[in-house]
């Protein structure tokens, strides 16, 4: 029998080797065709008396990334469409469709033949659930092996038996941590908690897997044998009493109840361990169906999987421009940002020239890369050879002539127009005509900087976020004269360093900083109103933000916020900044010398480690304090999310961001906008534009014009239109404009 996605070969010992190798794909995924074929293969092996057992492996470098989430997105979309007509029928259809994998994996493990998964590389999601249904698991002793059930990160959970098999193999505490965090395990760590039976050298992986069958591997799972005992002990036991109350409390502390899938995991494990395995699978399916019906799942699958994947593949890249294979890149300015850019470039295997006004400064910038890679080696995330290779790719210099031959040069000098002008002129004097020049400015419009260039078509903004090595988003800023070639090169570069690009038209603050400044501004307003600082920070985190706005101000520097305010007044007039907020920041900086984390005192105090930061008690003395019980905590949360989402809608209305995917993904990756919402634009769309504008108007009545919806949003609210319909990212730009 022949298959499209698999080959089946039986050796002289009667062991079938099932090799998963989907044609035309770089990684195997579980889609409907894979499910159909694997079902037939299970029947084939079970029905052939000459076959003693089967080993399943991959013909690619990785095992599999799991289920095709576009398939799940289709199921979610079908439910949303059909539920309008018949909710009960649509729910039953969703329940049935989500059970296909559950039934297939149960069929495999009860087929009467032993199965072994030979895990040669990345094995995640549904692929690891497939491996868990096998009676044996062997993983290669390789850095390529990454084992995870990461579904919770995209709003769902392992719904093909993962919540039932993992806690029957690992102790309950380890199982819960693995399932609710979506953490990635190495082969050794997976073996350490009993999710993998054996670790073998890559060249011996298949032999080791076959040997398990030769050695008499039982074709029965532990939980199907009489007398099976849970490795973590029963739920109703002393161990259970010590585990479950804190587990629930910890999840609440980490998620604030914003992630239904994480709560469902706890429910599935708790309830599933009280009943027989097959009943546990039914419980899991019911919870999975409910989660698939949630707006959080729809939003997170769309933004954090589908849209993120599309942007990473270059969805906004102009057609017809040849892809750039970078041979040499220049970075001018070896300060913290420039040094970080040099590091990520060298890490991608691209030679980089790091230039500053003195060689000593450039050498210091290179030392930053040495520090990062040395720290990674200490933590076991890199090897000594990696360090030597990376550092050999960075050439520190003070001579602009060394930039000759660069395909791209990124300027990361001080935020001073004159300094940037001189840098542009000196660089272009030695660059080849086809090379692209990019500025990493975070405040100065690209169009104005491009006036310093003799070839503005090849001038573009590439805005990194700090710290460069950790932040995954990059804003690509288009000046008025920026050409397709420059945009394509910029996107190619961002993809080469394995970060996510979003394309933004030129404006003050671009996209991300405009939203972030609104977030901080709302916190300043609350402080002035007398809302206790702790309540402000807790409300933001409870709303889903990873860092409170006051802590974020400290990280970026309070005196930087002061400089931005004063510069805005100089550029746009006194009405451009709330004078009460400026007074607050001036008091913090000028009167109290509180500059932020950099001088260990800002909105927080930063004592020497290991002591933790604490809010500065003096904040309570700046304004009369309101009693917490008199403050609407839920309204504080709404204010934070609404003010950011409104700014995102303004950016879309102004044509600064034209693709809602970029607005959503950008808001999550850059400053962590409540991921469970799917991003700042999805927050509006899934609430409904009419409901959102109603909420904004109520806040505007109480807190002022900052909550006024833009004209476009008010128009959309009239028909309850959505941004993903109005600015359909899958249509061309001319249709979008219409």
Strands, DSSP E only, in 468-580?
473-478, 500-505
Cis check for the bond before 610: say yes or no (omega within 30 of 0). Answer: yes
Whether the link from the prior residue into 210 is cis, omega within 30° of 0, is no
CB atoms closer than 10 angstroms to residue 508: 15
**How far apart, in Å, are the Cα atoms of 227 and each of 163, 173, 233, 276?**
21, 22, 13, 12
Rounded CA-CA distance 672/412 in Å is 24
475 belongs to the catalytic site: yes
How far from 699 is each of 323, 473, 641, CA to CA, in Å?
48, 31, 12
Phi and psi, residue 195, nearest 5°: -90, -15
Given the residues 37, 284, 411, 475, select the one marked as catalytic: 475
DSSP state of 516: H
Q: Which helix (H) or strand (E) holds 460?
A: strand 459-463
Give counts: helices (H), strands (E), the chain. Answer: 33, 18
271 as an active site residue: the answer is no
Q: How many CB atoms lie within 10 A of CB 369?
A: 25
CB neighbour class for 482 (10 Å; exposed up to 12, middle 13-18, buried from 19): buried
d(CA 579, CA 597) in angstroms, rounded, equals: 24
Q: What's 83's DSSP letter?
A: T
Structure tokens belonging to residue 194: 């009993």
Asked if residue 431 lies in contact with residue 437, where contact means CB atoms within 8 angstroms, the answer is: yes
**214: which residues sit within 8 A by CB, 6+ positions away?**
13, 15
Q: Indicate which residue of 97, 303, 463, 682 is catalytic.
A: 463
Catalytic (active site) residue 440? no
* Strands 15-20, 53-58: pairing kind: parallel
CB distance 713 to 653 below 8 Å: yes
Give the residue among 560, 727, 556, 717 at the shortest CA–CA distance from 656: 727
Task: Name the token pair of 558.
Answer: 């309070």
* Largest CA-CA distance found in the chain, in angstroms, rounded: 86
What span, in angstroms and rounded, lies between the C-alpha atoms of 550 and 560?
A: 13
507: its two tokens: 């404006």
Q: Out of 513, 521, 649, 682, which one is annotated catalytic? A: 513
- What are 185's strand-pairing partners? 147
CB 156 within 8 A of CB 76: no
Give the DSSP letter string of 164-230. HHHHHHS-HHHHHHHHHH---B-HHHHHHTTS-SEEE-GGGHHHHHHHHHHTT--SS-GGGSTT---
Cα dist from 134 to 49, 110, 118, 481, whole Å: 19, 10, 10, 58
- Confirm whether 368 is a catalytic residue: no
User: Catalytic one among 442, 521, 649, 682?
Assistant: 442
Task: Give kind and range of the element (H or E) at residue 568.
Answer: helix 558-572
What is the set of active-site residues?
A: 442, 463, 475, 513
């Amino acid at each position: 029998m022949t298959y499209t996605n698999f080959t089946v070969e039986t050796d002289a010992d009667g062991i079938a080797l099932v090799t998963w190798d989907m044609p035309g794909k770089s990684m195997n995924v579980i889609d409907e065709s894979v499910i159909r074929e694997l079902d037939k293969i299970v029947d084939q092996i079970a029905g052939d008396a000459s076959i003693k057992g089967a080993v399943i492996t991959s013909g690619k470098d990785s095992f599999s990334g799991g289920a095709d989430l576009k398939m799940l997105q289709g199921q979610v979309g079908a439910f949303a469409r059909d539920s309008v007509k018949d909710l009960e029928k649509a729910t039953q259809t969703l329940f049935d469709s989500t059970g296909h994998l559950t039934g297939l994996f149960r069929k495999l493990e009860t087929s009467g033949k032993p199965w072994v998964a030979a895990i040669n590389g990345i094995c995640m999601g549904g692929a690891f659930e497939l491996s868990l249904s096998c009676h044996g698991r062997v993983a290669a002793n390789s850095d390529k092996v990454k084992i995870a059930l990461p579904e919770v990160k995209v709003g769902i959970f392992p719904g093909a038996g993962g919540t039932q098999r993992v806690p029957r193999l690992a102790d309950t505490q380890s199982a819960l941590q693995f399932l609710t965090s979506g953490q990635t395990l190495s082969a050794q760590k997976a073996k350490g908690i009993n999710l993998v039976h054996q670790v073998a050298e890559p060249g011996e992986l298949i032999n080791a897997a076959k040997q398990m069958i030769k050695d008499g591997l039982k074709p029965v799972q532990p939980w199907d044998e009489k007398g099976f005992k849970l490795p973590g002990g029963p739920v109703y036991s002393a161990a259970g009493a010590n585990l479950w109350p804190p587990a629930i409390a910890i999840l609440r502390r980490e998620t604030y109840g914003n992630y239904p899938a994480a709560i469902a995991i706890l429910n599935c494990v708790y309830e599933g361990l009280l009943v027989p395995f097959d009943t546990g699978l039914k419980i899991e399916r019911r919870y999975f169906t409910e989660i698939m019906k949630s707006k959080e799942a729809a939003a997170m699958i769309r933004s954090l999987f589908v849209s993120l994947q599309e942007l990473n593949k270059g969805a906004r890249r102009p057609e017809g421009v040849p892809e750039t294979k970078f041979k040499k890149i220049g970075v001018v300015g070896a300060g913290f940002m420039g040094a970080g850019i040099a590091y990520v470039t060298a890490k991608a295997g691209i030679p980089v020239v790091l230039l500053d006004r003195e060689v000593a400064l450039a050498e210091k910038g290179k030392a930053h890369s040495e520090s990062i890679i040395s720290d990674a080696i200490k933590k076991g995330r890199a090897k000594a050879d990696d360090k030597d290779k990376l550092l050999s790719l960075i050439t520190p210099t003070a001579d602009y002539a060394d930039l000759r031959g660069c395909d791209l040069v990124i300027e990361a000098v001080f935020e001073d127009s004159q300094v940037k002008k001189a840098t542009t002129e000196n660089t272009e004097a030695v660059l080849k005509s086809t090379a692209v020049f990019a500025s990493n400015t975070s405040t100065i419009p690209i169009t104005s900087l491009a006036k310093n260039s003799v070839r503005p078509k090849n001038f573009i903004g590439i805005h990194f976020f700090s710290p460069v090595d950790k932040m995954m988003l990059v804003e690509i800023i288009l000046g008025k004269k920026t050409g397709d070639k420059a945009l394509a090169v910029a996107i190619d570069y961002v993809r080469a360093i394995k970060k996510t690009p979003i394309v933004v038209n030129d404006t003050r603050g671009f996209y991300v900083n405009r939203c972030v400044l609104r977030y901080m501004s709302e916190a300043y307003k609350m402080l002035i109103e007398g809302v206790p600082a702790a309540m402000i920070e807790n409300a933001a985190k409870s709303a889903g933000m990873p860092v409170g706005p006051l802590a974020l101000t400290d990280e970026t520097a309070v005196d930087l916020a002061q400089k931005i305010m004063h510069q805005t007044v100089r550029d746009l007039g006194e009405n451009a900044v709330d004078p009460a907020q400026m007074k607050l920041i001036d008091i913090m900086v000028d009167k109290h010398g509180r500059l932020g984390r950099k001088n260990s005192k800002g909105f927080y105090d930063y004592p020497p480690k290991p002591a933790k930061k604490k809010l500065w008690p003096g904040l309570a003395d700046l304004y009369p304090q309101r009693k917490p019980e008199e403050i609407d905590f839920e309204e504080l949360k709404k204010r934070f999310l609404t003010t950011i989402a409104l700014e995102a809608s303004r950016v879309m209305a102004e044509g600064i961001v034209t693709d809602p995917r970029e607005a959503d993904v950008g808001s999550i990756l850059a400053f962590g906008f409540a991921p469970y919402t799917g991003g700042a634009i999805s927050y509006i769309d899934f609430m409904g534009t009419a409901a959102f504008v109603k909420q904004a108007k109520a806040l505007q009545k109480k807190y002022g014009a900052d909550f006024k919806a833009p004209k476009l949003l008010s128009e959309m609210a009239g028909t309850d239109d959505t941004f993903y319909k109005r600015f359909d990212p899958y249509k061309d730009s001319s249709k979008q404009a219409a």
